[in-house]
Structure formats: C-alpha cells, structure tokens
Amino acid sequence: TQNVMMAAVGAEGETIIEGAACEPEVQSTASFLRAMGATIDGDGTPVVRIKGRGRLDQGSGLEGGSFEIPPDRIETGTYALAGAIAGEQVIVEGCRPSENLALLHQLEQLGVPVEVGESTITIQGVESVAPVAVSMLPYPAFPTDLQGPLMALLCLGRGVSLITDKVFPDRFNHLSELRRFGARVRKEGPTAIIEGGAPLSGAKVMASDLRASACLVLAGLVADGVTHVNRIYHLQRGYERMEEKLCQLGARVERISEHDLERDTDKERV
C-alpha cells in the first residue's frame, strides 16, 4: 500500500487502492506525503484515493515539508513483552498506546498487569502467564510482527498456548531455535503449539529474520546461562541500540563480533 501510494503521487490522474492496509505506518506515510503537498484521502481505511501530481521530474511534484517520525509500535510491543518476560516493571515512554490495543488486551488475558498513560505503557512482570489462543491478523488485530516475541513469553507460561499466524502462515523459523533453549514448541499447519513451563537454558542460536531475532533475544533474557544470538544484522533493521536499552533495564547483554564469538568457542573446546 505504501509503495503504491508513493508511486501514485507521481502519476497522472486519480489512483484508487482497494483492499488497502490500514496500519498506522500507512497512515504515517500518507501524512508525510500530504506534508509535501500530496492529495491523499482514506488512509486508515480499506479504500485510499490519491490524486497524482504528474511526473516528479518535470517540476509538478512534491515540495519540501515538515514531518515528525512517529513511535514504532512494534518496538513498543517488543519492550513491553520483554518486561513481562523478565518479571520486572518496565515503563515504555514516548509511545502511542492507542496503536497497541490488541497487544494490551492480550497482556491482560495473560494476566500481566498493565497501566496506560497518554504516551506511556507500564508493564508489571509476573512469574508466569496464563495459556492463550491468539491469531495474527491485519491491523487492528494482533500484529504478526509481535508473534515471535509473544511466543518467547508463552514458553514461560503454564499450560498449552496456540499461536495461529493468518498473515504469514509459515513464519515460524524461530521454533527450531527456541527448542535449542529447551522450549516445547511445535508447528501444525499455520499454528504453533507452545507447551509452557519448561525451564530454558542458554544456547547458541541463529536468527532467521528480524522478528525471530527479537524472539531469541527475549528468550535469552530468562534462559539459565549464556545465550549467543548469531546473525543479528536482522535485528539491526528494526531495533536501534537494543542491547543498550535492555541493559538500562538491568539485563546483561553485549554485542560481540563473529571473531570474538569464534574465540570464545575455541576457549570452550580447550
């Protein structure tokens, strides 16, 4: 939706997008384009209309403007889940709670105390969470981008939980890595089955994508022993200085090079 909107601004005539994504990021993109002179209506609904300004290279395109980058709702949700996993109080500041209503509702279902301010979310960590069945669906439902971090939390819960991803049914590459921690997780079709309560032990794991990286880091926070998450370049695409922010919360997290990891591995072999 965002790519089509941007292309349509430079097209002739009106473009209508049907079945458009309604995520806040789409609305922010529309607001950004409007700040530079674009005419866009309907963002945040399934039908978006864009009146093109003609070819941008012929002087009829956009103008300079001012726009404030909004908070990242997925980063907000990840740190909220990190607080629940660690069993500590975490206050996420500078966020938009209204964009994370599905997550806040799910945390309440899990038994995690939540306090919401105008631009803050306060999470009170708990020792264990209740089992749930949750489906990943387009906004405003629970986001697929928080599926992995949520799964890390459910590994610590009691009972059996189900996660069904109806956006990306095969987005479960992190299951095999979670099993390296000792988690009891398996996949059946588009659903992951998590048997909570198994103690997690530190492991050497490999990230397969951005959100899987976050899942493995969160699992490592509560695993007994040291965890190495390899290929964190995935993580860097969506989380700025994640290790620094987690350290501010009391976690012991360090970014190391592959050379340092190989050196540590050689020491273990001696």
Counted residue by residue, the chain has a size of 270
Can you tell me whether residue 125 is helix, strand or coil?
coil
Confidence of residue 62 (pLDDT cuts 50, 70, 90): confident
- Residue with token string 């038994």: 111
Q: Report d(CA 185, CA 152) in Å as an integer.
A: 10
Q: Report d(CA 115, CA 164) in Å as an integer.
A: 27
- pLDDT of amino acid 267: 52
Q: Report d(CA 249, CA 211) in Å as an integer.
A: 20
Average pLDDT over residues 19-33: 97
Query: pLDDT at residue 270 above 50?
Result: no
Query: pLDDT at residue 264 above 90?
Result: no
- pLDDT of amino acid 125: 86
User: Which DSSP string do the residues of 151-215 spell out, in sequence order?
Assistant: HHHHTTSSSEEEEEESSSTT--THHHHHHHHT-EEEEETTEEEEETTPPPB--EEE--SHHHHHH
- pLDDT of amino acid 49: 98
Q: How would you write 90-124 as a 3-class SS string?
A: EEEECCCHHHHHHHHHHHHHHCCCEEECCCEEEEE
All residues at 6 or more sequence positions from 202 whose CB lies less than 8 Å from its CB, including other chains:
181, 220, 223, 224, 225, 226, 227
All residues at 6 or more sequence positions from 91 whose CB lies less than 8 Å from its CB, including other chains:
120, 121, 122, 123
pLDDT in tens, 79-113: 999 999 988 899 999 999 999 999 999 999 999 99
Q: What is the mean pLDDT of the chain?
A: 93
Average pLDDT over residues 111-118: 97
- pLDDT of amino acid 127: 85
What's the half-sphere exposure (Cβ side, CA atoms, 13 Å) at 207? 25
Contact 73, 51 (CB under 8 A): no
- pLDDT of amino acid 172: 96
| Amino acid in the structure at residue 160 | V
Query: pLDDT at residue 262 above 70?
Result: no
User: Which DSSP string do the residues of 31-100 spell out, in sequence order?
Assistant: HHHHHTT-EEE-TTSSEEEEE----GGGT-S------PPPP-HHHHHHHHHHHHHHTSEEEEES--GGGG
- pLDDT of amino acid 63: 86
Confidence of residue 61 (pLDDT cuts 50, 70, 90): confident
Confidence of residue 269 (pLDDT cuts 50, 70, 90): very low
Average pLDDT over residues 51-75: 84
**pTM exceeds 0.85 for this model:** yes
Q: Which of 16-20, 45-49, 88-92, 199-203 has the lowest mean pLDDT?
A: 88-92
- pLDDT of amino acid 37: 92
Q: In whole angstroms, how far apart are CA 128 and each of 114, 124, 166? A: 15, 12, 26
Average pLDDT over residues 147-165: 96
- Residues of the chain above pLDDT 90, percent: 85
- Residues of the chain above pLDDT 70, percent: 93
| Amino acid in the structure at residue 41 | D
pLDDT in tens, 122-141: 999 888 899 999 999 999 99
Query: pLDDT at residue 4 above 70?
Result: yes
